[in-house]
Structure 1
Amino acid sequence: MRHRHTLAAVAAGILLTAGIGATIPAGAANAPSTRASGPATALVVNARWGGHAGFDRIVIDVRGAALPPVTVRQVPALHYDGSGQKVPLAGKYFLEVRLSPAAAHDEAGRSVYRGPGLLKVHLPALKGVALTGDFEGVVTVGAAFDTEPAYKTFRLHSPERLVVDVAHPVGCRT
């Protein structure tokens, strides 16, 4: 009798497994998993800027995940990540914005970034913007200034973006 219960349990398990397997669409076993193995990587898709009364603004747009940890710091010069080559932006002062973990490319290696690679800007404080890195899970954006930047940063949501406001004298037109 005990053997019959064990046999019935094994048979039920086989039928249940076969029934579940029948509900999986054909080819699904070879399809890429849509379930993330961890949090999605933030994709840096744009860097834009604008002049306002009293400040210039840089906005970095992120898609695919929440804004990752960000570091903004003044550096003596901007260099391209990976190669170490100096970024050819005119200016005496520079800010480096680092987002990590982040990428400016998709899983196939195609760029998703649509902002400037390197661009001279003619605003009262901001003189240039460049994408300086998309290397090993770190995206960096650099900004150039003629005067030492007094800045503040904050995050905005829906869509995710980082804002860097750099002060300049009110009414200043350069």
Structure 2
Amino acid sequence: MHHHSRLAAAAAALLLVAGTGSTVPASASRSAAPSQAPATALVTNVRWGGHSSFDRLVVDIRGKVPPITVQAVQRLHYDAIGTEVPLAGKHFLEIRLSPAAAHDDNGRSVYKGPKLTRIWLPSLKGLALTGDFEGVVTLGAAFHTRPSYTTRVLHSPERFVLDIRHAPPVCGR
């Protein structure tokens, strides 16, 4: 019987400690931890290359790769001013990274890639940095045919990869 009273006392002590911990306000536990704002991903470069069956576009990133969307658009526009991007092509992809920047905290560009360039690969025909505005970096890619692509994120170093399949050859009969 003495064993049961010890066990009951230990259980009561655990409940008392657990109950005390749960009465601490959430704001108190948050303020005790050091506050760390997540660092903004920095887009530092864009490069490309041709392979036997696909073209590859690589976006180099310093920091953690942010969420990225790739979307087909009718035309490419510069984000801040809205003017059309002068890239030759019939089909376009907009690549949007957010939250991200192509400049440091002092406003100096960290992006070393092309701002606007024509590319002579089988699928990829042009590339432009179309925005670095309010925590969003956008890039535009131009194609003569509708692009069929896959995406992935690679690490060490951090980068986003867009692989665009070459269009099958058109056979004349």
TM score, norm. by length of structure 1: 0.76
Report the Cα distance in structure 2 between the residues aligned to 1:36 and 1:161, rounded to whole angstroms: 27
Moved over 4 A (4+): 169-172
Residue aligning to 1:21: none
Q: Give 1:101's match in structure 2, choosing from 82, 99, 102.
A: 99
- CA offset at residue 37 of structure 1? 3.5
Tell me if structure 2 keeps the 8 A contact 1:53–1:171.
no
- Name the aligned partner's letter for residue 162 of structure 1: F
Change in Cα spacing, 1:55 to 1:75, as seen in structure 2 (3 Å) is: same
Report the Cα distance in structure 2 between the residues aligned to 1:151 and 1:129, rounded to whole angstroms: 16
Tell me if structure 2 keeps the 8 A contact 1:156–1:163.
yes
Residue aligning to 2:158: 160
Quote the sequence identity (%). Answer: 64
- CA offset at residue 157 of structure 1? 0.2
2:116 paired with 1:148: no
User: Number of residue pairs matched?
Assistant: 137
Residue aligning to 2:43: 44
Report the Cα distance in structure 1 between the residues aligned to 2:162 and 2:152, rounded to whole angstroms: 7
Tell me if structure 2 keeps the 8 A contact 1:81–1:132.
yes
- Aligned residue for 2:87, secondary structure, equals coil
Change in Cα spacing, 1:148 to 1:169, as seen in structure 2 (3 Å) is: closer
Structure 2: give runs of 5+ residues left out of the alignment: 1-33
Residue aligning to 1:129: 127
Residue aligning to 1:19: none
Tell me if structure 2 keeps the 8 A contact 1:54–1:171.
no
Higher helix share: 2
- Name the aligned partner's letter for residue 131 of structure 2: G
TM score, norm. by length of structure 2: 0.76
Structure 1: give runs of 5+ residues left out of the alignment: 1-34
- CA offset at residue 41 of structure 1? 0.5
- Name the aligned partner's letter for residue 152 of structure 2: F
- Name the aligned partner's letter for residue 41 of structure 1: T
Residue aligning to 2:67: 69
1:122-170 Cα deviation digits (max 9, x unpaired): 0000000110000000000100000000000000000100000000047
Tell me if structure 2 keeps the 8 A contact 1:151–1:164.
yes
Report the Cα distance in structure 2 between the residues aligned to 1:76 and 1:170, rounded to whole angstroms: 23
- Tell me how large the CA RMSD over aligned residues is: 1.6
Report the Cα distance in structure 2 between the residues aligned to 1:171 and 1:86, rounded to whole angstroms: 31
Residue aligning to 1:60: 59
Tell me if structure 2 keeps the 8 A contact 1:132–1:140.
yes
- Name the aligned partner's letter for residue 161 of structure 2: V
2:78 paired with 1:80: yes
Tell me if structure 2 keeps the 8 A contact 1:156–1:162.
yes
